[in-house]
Structure 1
Amino acid sequence: MFTTALLGVISTAGARPTIFVPDPIAGYAIGGHDPVAYFVDHKPRKGMSQFEFSWGGADWVFVNQGNLAAFKQAPEVYAPLYAGCGGYALSEGYATAGNPFIFALVEDRLVFFHSVVNRFLFLANYEQHLERADENAPKTGCIPSK
């Protein structure tokens, strides 16, 4: 079962490695978006600095105390798969930076994509693409956060 949402496009730079590299502008993981909000609100929402938590080599921000508490309890559940790298690109054997505005919830996991086309192609056969992305993640430095 998967749920999807598409809300816009931002520029992406460089693939995300095994740790969550802070966005160079926002200074936070995944561009300062609350990872729990993707599951609760089904869209990216900017977090606030008063709800900040360090995990996975980066600082994360949240929209409220509840989302922060949920993430603290199970960060590997809410953090994007593949350290934020694009899921479809990984299934094809290479790493691209995932875009926090182009995402899908696939088997209850947050997956980012580099482009709208990549998102569409991934979802057309997501079981096969998940399997291949899981295989390629260690080779590219985009380790799944399972």
Structure 2
Amino acid sequence: MTAQRRDWCEFGRGIALIWLISSLCTPIWAGTNERVVTDRYTGLAIGGFDPVAYFTESNALAGLPDYELTEDGAVWRFRNEGNRAEFAKHPEVYGPQFGGYDPVDMARGVTIAGNPRFWLVAGQRLYLFGREDTRAAFAAAPDKFLPVARKQWPILQETLAR
């Protein structure tokens, strides 16, 4: 192998390493240009977690491929047929508020995709958070963040893909 080719291969490996590190730092499921947080490769909403299970099981549980429903261009997964039926009847109740974006960050005027593992049910609604610290801040004072987030949501929706 010539010196020039060896240098080019080392450069290529460096670029591949930078790409790998950056992709590991960015959650794959966080499609932050969507109105509902979806996996950009599979179309799964909220990482394939069952949105009804947050209410019925008080836990973040992965949905199953056998129980899927497409709503607003996103594929939602559920643990069982009953959860899928409940969501189909009331997606506005069981779906995460603000499309699954972090309400604390939304109150700051930015859309940060929520992580389905950082969640909270408040006022009979599901909220997802990008970080544990924003979930803790919201849990301590939801009335501080919700009015501002609700005001920001229509504005921020315009910046997201349709």
How far apart, in 1, do the equivalents of 2:97 and 2:128 lie?
Answer: 8
How far apart, in 2, do the equivalents of 1:48 and 1:83 lie?
Answer: 21
For residue 35 of structure 1, what is the aligned residue in structure 2?
A: 51
Matches within 5 A, 1:3-18: 12=27, 13-15=30-32, 17-18=34-35
For residue 100 of structure 2, what is the aligned residue in structure 1?
A: 84
Residue pair 2:39, 2:45 contacting (<8 A) in 1 also:
yes
In the TM superposition, residue 100 of structure 1 has moved relative to its aligned partner by 0.4
1:95 is the counterpart of 2:111: yes
For residue 140 of structure 1, what is the aligned residue in structure 2?
A: 156
How far apart, in 2, do the equivalents of 1:22 and 1:47 lie?
Answer: 14
Q: Which runs of 5+ in 1 are unaligned?
A: 1-9
Q: 1:16 to 1:85 in 2, by over 3 A?
A: farther
How far apart, in 2, do the equivalents of 1:50 and 1:97 lie?
Answer: 26
Match of 1:104 among 106, 115, 120: 120
Match of 2:78 among 62, 69, 72: 62
TM-score, normalised with respect to structure 1: 0.83
How many residues get paired?
132
Q: Which has the higher helix share?
A: 2
The alignment yields a C-alpha RMSD, in angstroms, of: 1.9
TM-score, normalised with respect to structure 2: 0.75
How far apart, in 2, do the equivalents of 1:39 and 1:11 lie?
Answer: 28
What is the aligned-residue identity percentage? 35
Q: Which runs of 5+ in 2 are unaligned?
A: 1-24
Residue pair 1:16, 1:85 contacting (<8 A) in 2 also:
no
For residue 75 of structure 1, what is the aligned residue in structure 2?
A: 91
In the TM superposition, residue 128 of structure 1 has moved relative to its aligned partner by 2.1
How far apart, in 1, do the equivalents of 2:52 and 2:97 lie?
Answer: 13
Structure 1 stretch 24-33 or stretch 108-117: which is displaced more? 24-33
Q: After the TM superposition, which segments of 4 or more aligned residues of structure 1 sit over 3 Å from their partners?
A: 10-14, 24-27
How far apart, in 2, do the equivalents of 1:16 and 1:111 lie?
Answer: 18
Residue pair 1:16, 1:96 contacting (<8 A) in 2 also:
no
In the TM superposition, residue 16 of structure 1 has moved relative to its aligned partner by 5.4
Q: 1:16 to 1:116 in 2, by over 3 A?
A: farther
How far apart, in 1, do the equivalents of 2:153 and 2:97 lie?
Answer: 10
Task: Give the AA of the match of 1:132.
Answer: V
Q: Which has the higher strand share?
A: 1
